[in-house]
Amino acid sequence: MTEQQSPKKQSLHLLFVIAAVVGFGFLFAYFQHENLDNRVNFSLTDGSGKEITETAFGGKWMIVYFGFTSCPDICPTQTAKVAQTIRLLDKKRLGNAIVPVFISVDYERDTPASINHYLNQFDDRIVGLSGNKAQLDYVVSRFHTHYELKADPSAHHGGLDVVHSSMTYIVDPFGKIVDQIALGYDPLFLASHLETLL
């Protein structure tokens, strides 16, 4: 004859199992987000000349893209699309829930002041960041992308050919890249996509 557990003991056992499952879930999520191999982190200079890290954005979602201020075509197109995306999100009262971040890879010519001047022509909420070669090499590696500065007298922008990614990266509040969008996107698509993530 088997001994039956009292309802109180059964309830305690069930609570213990539930707590263990929930606790494991939280630990798994925590370590997934804390894994530095999966997390974007950086130390770069903002428009005021102050060095900041990704934590300066208060755990908000980020739209991150790379470029340089004397870029003749891709960067203005990309920046205009980011600005339009933010304005579309404004209509849903979500514009301030996202931090748009432009990272200049032209460490030889772009300054915090020139980056600010450039971005303010599109939307002054776009955060411009810059750094030295070592800082940029590091942040570019975190995004698993590339850039290159090559002397080229025939280049239309000051004799320097700048190669960089034209992708737009969506980064969650934990610093994980959750998506990357190719340049040809429609701002309406990106705004809708971000709305589903927020």
Contacts 24+ apart (CB under 8 A), 72-76: 72/156, 72/157, 74/166, 74/183
Q: Which of 31-35, 39-43, 147-151, 192-196 has the lowest mean pLDDT?
A: 31-35
Q: What percent of the chain has pLDDT over 70?
A: 76
Interhelix angle 187-197/74-90, rounded to 10 degrees, is 50
**SS3 call for 68:** coil
DSSP 139-186: HHHHTT--EEEEE-TT-TTTTEEEEE---EEEE-TTSBEEEEE-TT--
Rounded-to-integer distance, Cα 45 and Cα 15, Å: 50
Q: What integer pLDDT is reported at residue 40 of this predicted model? A: 87
Rounded average pLDDT over 97-113: 93
Q: What integer pLDDT is reported at residue 121 of this predicted model? A: 95
User: Does the pLDDT at position 39 exceed 90?
Assistant: no
* Per-residue confidence band for 59, with pLDDT thresholds at 50, 70 and 90: confident
In the structure encoding, which two tokens stand for residue 194, read together? 């971000």
Q: What integer pLDDT is reported at residue 189 of this predicted model? A: 93
Rounded average pLDDT over 103-109: 91
DSSP 86-105: HHHHHTTT-GGGEEEEEEE-
All residues at 6 or more sequence positions from 64 whose CB lies less than 8 Å from its CB, including other chains: 40, 101, 103, 143, 168, 169, 171
Q: What integer pLDDT is reported at residue 27 of this predicted model? A: 47
Looking up tokens 């922008």 gives: 157
User: Does the pLDDT at position 1 exceed 60?
Assistant: no
Task: Please list, residue by residue across 77-96, b when 16 or more beta carbons sit within 10 angstroms of its beta carbon and e when fewer do.
Answer: ebbebbbbbbebbeeeebbe
User: Does the pLDDT at position 168 exceed 90?
Assistant: yes
Rounded average pLDDT over 26-40: 56
Q: Which of 32-41, 46-55, 111-120, 135-144 has the lowest mean pLDDT?
A: 32-41
User: Does the pLDDT at position 164 exceed 80?
Assistant: no
User: Does the pLDDT at position 22 exceed 50?
Assistant: no
Mean pLDDT for all residues in the chain: 83
Pairing of strands 61-67, 51-53: unpaired
